[in-house]
Amino acid sequence: MASFLGKNLPDSIWKPDVLYLPEPLLEAHKSFLEEQGWWAEYDPNVHGNIGGATADEAKEHIINRFLNSAARMGFVCADPMDTQPEVREMVLDQLGEGQIFLLDLAAGNGAGTLSMLSLICELRAKKCVPKLPVNVHITGVDYSSAALKYYSEIMGKLDPWLKSNGLHVNLSLCPCDLAVVGDFGEVFESFLDESKRASVNRFLCVISAISGINSEGMGAISDSLKHAATGLSSKKRNSSWLWVEPHIGKKKAWVPKVFVTVNLTLKKIAHRFIQKGDTFDIKADDEVPTLEDAQPRSFQWLDPYKNKAINSNVIVVAFKNE
Ligand SMILES: C[S@@+](CC[C@H](N)C(=O)[O-])C[C@H]1O[C@@H](n2cnc3c(N)ncnc32)[C@H](O)[C@@H]1O
């Protein structure tokens, strides 16, 4: 694929210094909130929670955090300033044509993945990228059944638009606690089995907005993340990993260590991932890639409901098994 630059973005996505979310994604979110009778509750200034531990948290997240999460993913995939073009290239390449199996971990209401698909669809609709047919088989994993239900409803609303632009999505949603590696192992096995049946060896694992989990919770799910990375590490597979988080402050300086252990596992590089109190350490005999280059970025996106530009920040890491 010819290289795509920030200056090629349509003005439905980027007008100087402000990111716009694709209109069909906004319509889908808004009509979902209206149908639930939750539209009047939209107030992004209320203090956020991490998402899905309870039905109330799942509800609050879909009302008030969905757009912000979608904006972070949209910004790093559009990359208007060409700051980390390898991320945009990876996404456009992996979802450009053919078939791909996408594992959405701690998927919640799917804000990140739905935003990524909507951006690609908008680029296709505006003829910025080719409209070749692509089949995306998504497995979304989260312990919140409520959040997964919202994911499926919003996907249902977007589906006709995605299809009309050649993006054929098959969504399987799996309620599962990632802290129980045995349960996740079964979900992951089915995911791989399905890919084998479809003779597909292209994979993308997406993680978006989970750094709200405390270090104990992250320690508990890290075995599942590494289990997925191990399964996708085979050289026979073409595996990519995309991880998008809000800016991680000093208090959460341990989060990048989790990025590193997943990257090293995916690349089959020997190391030890050690939990030390409320932080983590990586030990390896040889020098290992540290992903230190990932710098937080600030940006603005338009909140269409309040017609107001919102300041946000994001960090993204993307890596492959080779
Ligand atoms: C802030 S939400 C992010 C949702 C979505 N990925 C996004 O892009 O906005 C964090 C999600 O992590 C999920 N989560 C937290 N701990 C989990 C666990 N142990 N197992 C499965 N899901 C978990 C929560 O249910 C919640 O849906």
187 with 228: CB under 8 angstroms?
A: no
pLDDT band at residue 3 under the 50/70/90 scheme: confident
Domain membership of residue 133 (yes or no) is yes
Domain membership of residue 102 (yes or no) is yes
Query: pTM of the entire structure?
Result: 0.96
Is 71 close to ligand 1, i.e. is its CB under 6 Å away? no
pLDDT at 47: 66
Domain membership of residue 218 (yes or no) is yes
pLDDT band at residue 50 under the 50/70/90 scheme: low
Domain membership of residue 147 (yes or no) is yes
Nearest Cα to 207, choosing from 316, 120, 57, 282?
316
* Cα distance between residue 83 and residue 108, in whole Å: 28
Pocket-testing residue among 66, 142, 187, 245, ligand 1, by greatest number of atoms within 8 A of Cβ? 142
pLDDT at 211: 86
69-114, pLDDT tens digit by residue?
A: 999 999 999 999 999 999 999 999 999 999 999 999 999 999 999 9
Lowest mean pLDDT among 64-73, 147-156, 269-278: 269-278
CATH of the domain at 168: 3.40.50
Q: Which atom of ligand 1 is nearest to the CA of 104?
A: 6
Domain membership of residue 44 (yes or no) is no
pLDDT band at residue 278 under the 50/70/90 scheme: confident
pLDDT at 49: 61
Q: 315: buried, middle or exposed (CB in 10 Å: 19+, 13-18, 0-12)?
A: buried
Cα of 4 to ligand 1 centre, how many Å?
Answer: 31
b/e per residue 203-234 (b: at least 16 CB within 10 A): bbbbbbbbbbbebeebbbbbbbbbbbbebbbe
Pocket-testing residue among 119, 210, 213, 316, ligand 1, by greatest number of atoms within 8 A of Cβ? 210
Q: Specify the residue with its C-alpha closest to ligand 1, atom 2.
A: 51
Nearest Cα to 320, choosing from 277, 266, 247?
266
Does the pLDDT at position 59 exceed 80?
yes
Pocket-testing residue among 57, 113, 139, 143, ligand 1, by greatest number of atoms within 8 A of Cβ? 143
Q: Residue 310's beta-bridge partner residues?
A: 301
Q: Which atom of ligand 1 is nearest to the CA of 48?
A: 1
How crowded is residue 311: how many other Cβ atoms within 10 Å of its Cβ?
8
- Domain range for 202 is 69-264+285-320
167-186, pLDDT tens digit by residue?
A: 999 999 999 999 999 999 99
Number of domains in the chain: 1
Domain membership of residue 161 (yes or no) is yes
Domain membership of residue 120 (yes or no) is yes
Domain membership of residue 45 (yes or no) is no
Cα of 147 to ligand 1 centre, how many Å?
Answer: 9
Is 143 close to ligand 1, i.e. is its CB under 6 Å away? yes
Does the pLDDT at position 159 exceed 80?
yes
Residue recorded with tokens 């080719």: 130
* Cα distance between residue 12 and residue 21, in whole Å: 8
Map the chain to HEC letters: CCCCCHHHCCCCCEECCEECCCHHHHHHHHHHHHHHCCHHHCCCCCCCCCCCCCHHHHHHHHHHHHHHHHHHHHHHHHCCCCCCHHHHHHHHHHCCCEEEEEEEECCCCCHHHHHHHHHHHHHHHCCCCCCCCEEEEEEEEECCHHHHHHHHHHHHHHHHHHHHCCEEEEEEEEECCCCCHHHHHHHHHHHHHHHHHCCCCEEEEEEECCCCCCHHHHHHHHHHHHHHHHHHCCCCCEEEEEEEECCCCHHHCCHHHHHHHHHHHHCCCCCEEEEECCEEEEECCCCCCCCCCCCCEEEEEEECCCCEEEEEEEEEEEEECC
Does the pLDDT at position 51 exceed 90?
no
